[in-house]
Amino acid sequence: MPRNRNRRRDEPVEVDRRTDKVDGKVTKTEAKADLVRAKASKSLAVAQKRKWLVILLGIGVAIYFMVTSGKLDLGGIMEKIKGITQ
């Protein structure tokens, strides 16, 4: 049974190593650029989520202050809720 090394020598393999190296660098550069684009789109999505979170928190705080100050009555519903909770 022949050794694998001998078989590899018999088969001529033509590889242009320079083009393989350049292709590898181009692929690596494209991968880095894709990563940067993905991070940028993720940061935009997080910013949108935070914007809506701040808006909802602001609305919640405003409603809380209106309810506790008595300016938001809603036809006696708040008195009923306060009576249930006590």
For the chain, what are the domain ranges? 16-85
Q: Which pTM does this prediction carry?
A: 0.47
Q: What DSSP line would sit under 33-67, residue for residue? A: HHHHHHHHHHHHHHHHHHHHHHHHHHHHHHHHHHH
Residues composing the chain: 86
- pLDDT per position as a tens digit, 57-74: 999 998 888 877 777 666
- pLDDT per position as a tens digit, 7-58: 556 555 566 667 777 777 778 888 889 999 999 999 999 999 999 999 999 9
